[in-house]
């Protein structure tokens, strides 16, 4: 299906033209892009609404970040090799890079809008077959050299050729990139408007210095600070313990509207600890300033130390207004014993969320049921509506009839820990899949026992998995936990060397081509893929492409719901839990704007130190 123009009503649309016309399609020059043309900010906006334009600069933010790794051995976050330090990738900072600028930058209060950063204006035709970016001639790398179209083209090509395999997949429909002039770069798309997200994707890529990587290998892990152009430079670091980023006081883009009121800390520091228990103890002694709490038990029972009681440490809940992410146990279907859907459904039945939430999580969570949980307009619910049916109907004969009657949700228990009914149903499913009980063990037709190894890198998750294993043991499954160091964990994940792995991924507010990385058949064999379960289903592939080609938000929502319905019916995971809130604890040194960016935390780029003198004395 051919998508209408990405800029919607902002594009110039002509009518009544002859089908044989050779006139090029009309184009629009704009300051921003969004999936469906809904831009909040006009071309003359002075700053984002969720910042304090007069926020003071200075001080330090020291925290443990959001990725969760306990070490790092690389400052290259754009290749498969190594464990990159936080702050070196876009995911570390709400989709924004500290070190590398991009052509455009995201607005935190809009679902998917981007506004010009290195690019001063964008030209795009009505058929969306290409996009042209005009660069600001004042853009500079940290060494003072000019940032030009050659650097932008180099960055795209090197990411596709030598970057993480996910880039190659996400950018596959970019036919070519052309340097039109020293400060003009043009991307030409193979499928035109059928791939709605490509202008946004290329606009958000990091820009590297071509000259720098003439003398430095891009595809190697390194702890040498790279040459960037963003608001921060790499400062002091100790491999595996901490890394600091120092604000560039001469940052070339500091006065642009997209940066006013942002990037207020002189130093942003990420601390690394061997495990969460040690990290929590360090926080109580003010070894660092801010902590996002991921453990409900700790949040409920351990924030009673003196600094909390006397007000020196504050706690704050921030509402998460994005799709809350799909966190769960992913069984590796590349292994034969997990290939049967009935086996995966049986494993789902053995997980007693209600007991786990009551006894281990202090009732803090709700069960995740959808791959788009928390986004009401994207989650499949009840009977599919007419639009969903129009998407699903061509596949009706290949889909289970139950899919058309309801959206699958995991079974609920009463929280008592007694789930006999669930386990009996699981046993029946195993029997149907060719497994039988023999001397208390679940075995196949050759007598080989059913074994499962849960791969983890943090001991804090052992108590949760242990409760799940107890139920698996009742089914006759030989289940165990393997704790490895973070580097080994990363390697085993990249090599598909696991039975079951726990992960949480977040979805975009406007899902699109990135769904290929999570769910497509092509991604199932890519090293380092986000398709952890190894989903390989042509129906899922077709639905992903229909989402990417959606021409309106209503159309997109319906197609995502159809995809969600099919994914959930496939039992590709055992869904876990979510809270819908960010749990923050921090020493009382920060201030923040009255308005939070709707779709981001906003901590790193919009908060500031409220008493610079006290902060300097504390350091």
**Residue 315, SS3?**
strand
Strands 290-292 and 581-587 come out as antiparallel
Q: Calculate mean pLDDT across residues 397-418.
A: 95
**Res 13 pLDDT > 50:** no
Q: Tell me which of 3.40.50.2300, 2.60.260.20, 3.10.105.10, 3.40.50.720 is the CATH number of domain 326-537+569-578.
A: 3.10.105.10
Asked if the model's pLDDT at residue 472 lies above 80, the reply is: yes
- Could you give the 3-state DSSP secondary structure of residue 445? coil
Gyration radius of the chain over CA positions: 25
| CATH 3.10.105.10 residue ranges for the chain | 326-537+569-578
Alpha-carbon distance of 508 to 520, in angstroms, equals: 17
**In whole angstroms, what separates CA 77 from the centre of its chain?**
14
% the chain with pLDDT above 90: 76
- Model pTM? 0.84
572/338 Cα distance (integer angstroms): 9
Q: Give tens-digit pLDDT for 245-263.
A: 999 999 999 999 999 999 9
Cα 372 to Cα 166, 195, 209: the distances in Å are 21, 21, 37
* pLDDT average, residue stretch 143-167: 96
In sequence order, what DSSP letters do the residues of 261-302 get, joined into one string?
Answer: T----SEEEEE--SSHHHHHHHHHTTSSSEEE---HHHHHHS
At 58-77, the pLDDT tens digits run 999 999 976 556 789 999 99
Domain with CATH 3.40.190.10 in the chain: 8-53+71-214, 232-321+581-618
Name the token pair of 110: 């809009």
What is the model's pLDDT at position 10?
30
Query: In this predicted structure, what is the pLDDT of residue 91?
Result: 55
Estimate to the nearest angstrom the gap between the alpha carbon of 187 and the chain centroid. Answer: 25
* pLDDT tens readout for residues 447-469: 999 999 999 988 888 999 999 99
Q: Tell me which of 86-95, 172-181, 322-331, 355-364 is least confident.
A: 86-95
Residues 93-102 have pLDDT tens digits of 556 789 999 9
Q: Tell how strand 436-438 and strand 366-367 pair up.
A: unpaired
Q: The tokens of 377 are what?
A: 């307009």
Question: Which residues partner with 134 through β-bridges?
Answer: 121, 184
Longest dimension (CA), the chain: 78
First to last CA, the chain: 58
541 neighbors 520 (Cβ within 8 angstroms):
yes
Q: At what angle do helices 538-548 and 553-569 cross, to 10 degrees?
A: 160
For the chain, the average pLDDT equals 91
Q: How far apart are CA 112 and CA 586, in angstroms?
A: 29
Give the residue carrying structure tokens 């400060």. Answer: 183
The candidate with the shortest Cα–Cα distance to 243, out of 92, 468, 426, is: 92
How many CB atoms neighbour CB 294 within 10 A?
Answer: 15
Determine the pLDDT at residue 43. Answer: 96
The pLDDT of residue 508 is 85
**Fold annotation for 232-321+581-618:** D-Maltodextrin-Binding Protein; domain 2 (3.40.190)
Q: Does domain 8-53+71-214 have CATH number 3.40.50.720?
A: no
> How crowded is the C-beta side of 517, counted as CA atoms within 13 Å?
21
């Amino acid at each position: 299906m051919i998508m209408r123009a990405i800029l919607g009503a902002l594009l110039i649309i002509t009518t009544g033209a002859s089908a044989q016309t050779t006139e090029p399609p009309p184009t629009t020059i704009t300051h921003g892009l969004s999936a469906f043309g809904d831009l909040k900010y006009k071309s003359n906006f002075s700053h984002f609404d969720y910042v304090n334009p007069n926020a003071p600069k200075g001080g330090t933010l020291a925290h443990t970040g959001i990725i969760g790794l306990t070490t790092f051995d690389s400052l290259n976050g754009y290749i498969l090799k190594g464990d990159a330090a936080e702050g070196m990738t876009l995911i570390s900072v709400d989709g924004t890079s500290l070190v590398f600028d991009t052509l455009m930058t995201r607005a935190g209060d809009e679902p998917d809008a981007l506004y010009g950063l290195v690019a001063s204006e964008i030209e795009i035709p009505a058929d969306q077959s290409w996009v042209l970016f005009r660069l600001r001639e004042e853009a500079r790398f940290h060494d003072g050299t000019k940032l030009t179209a050659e650097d932008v083209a180099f960055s795209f090509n090197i990411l596709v050729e030598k970057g993480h395999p996910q880039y190659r997949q996400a950018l596959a429909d970019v036919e070519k990139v052309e340097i039109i002039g020293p400060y003009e770069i043009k991307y030409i798309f193979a499928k035109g408007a059928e791939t709605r997200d490509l202008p946004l994707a290329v606009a958000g890529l990091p820009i590297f210095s071509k000259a720098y990587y003439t003398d430095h290998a891009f595809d190697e892990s390194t702890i040498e600070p790279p040459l960037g152009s963003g608001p921060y430079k790499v400062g002091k670091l100790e491999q595996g313990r901490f890394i600091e980023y120092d604000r560039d006081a001469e940052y070339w883009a500091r006065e642009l509207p997209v940066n006013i009121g942002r990037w207020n800390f002189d130093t942003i520091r990420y601390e690394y600890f061997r495990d969460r228990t040690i990290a929590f103890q360090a926080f109580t002694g003010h070894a660092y300033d801010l902590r996002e709490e991921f453990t409900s038990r700790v949040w409920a029972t351990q924030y009673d130390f003196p600094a909390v009681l006397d007000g020196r440490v504050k706690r704050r809940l921030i509402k998460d207004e994005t799709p809350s992410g799909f966190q769960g146990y992913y069984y590796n279907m590349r292994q034969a014993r997990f290939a049967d859907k009935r086996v995966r459904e049986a494993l789902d039945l053995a997980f007693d969320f209600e007991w786990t939430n009551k006894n281990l999580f202090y009732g803090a969570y709700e069960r995740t049921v959808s791959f788009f949980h928390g986004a009401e307009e994207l989650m499949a619910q009840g009977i599919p509506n007419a639009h969903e049916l129009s998407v699903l109907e061509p596949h009706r004969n290949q889909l289970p009839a139950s899919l058309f009657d309801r959206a699958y949700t995991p079974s609920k228990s009463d929280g008592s820990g007694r789930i006999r009914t669930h386990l009996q149903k699981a046993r029946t499913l195993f029997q149907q899949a060719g497994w039988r009980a023999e001397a208390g063990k679940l075995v196949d037709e050759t007598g080989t026992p059913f074994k499962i190894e849960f791969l983890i890198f943090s001991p804090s998750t052992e108590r949760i998995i242990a409760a799940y294993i107890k139920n698996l043991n009742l089914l006759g499954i030989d289940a165990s936990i393997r704790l490895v160091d973070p580097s080994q964990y990363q390697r085993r994940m990249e090599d598909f060397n696991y039975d079951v792995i726990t992960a949480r991924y977040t979805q975009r507010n406007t899902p699109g081509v990135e769904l290929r990385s999570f769910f497509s058949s092509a991604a199932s064999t890519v090293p380092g893929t986000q398709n952890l379960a190894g989903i390989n289903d042509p129906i899922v592939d077709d639905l992903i492409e229909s989402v990417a080609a959606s021409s309106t938000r209503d159309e997109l929502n319906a197609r995502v719901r159809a995809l969600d319905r099919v994914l959930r019916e496939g039992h590709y995971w055992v869904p876990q839990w979510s809270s819908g809130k960010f749990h923050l604890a921090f020493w009382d040194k920060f201030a923040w704007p009255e308005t939070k960016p709707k779709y981001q935390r906003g901590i790193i780029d919009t908060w500031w130190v409220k008493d610079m003198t006290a902060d300097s004395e504390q350091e």
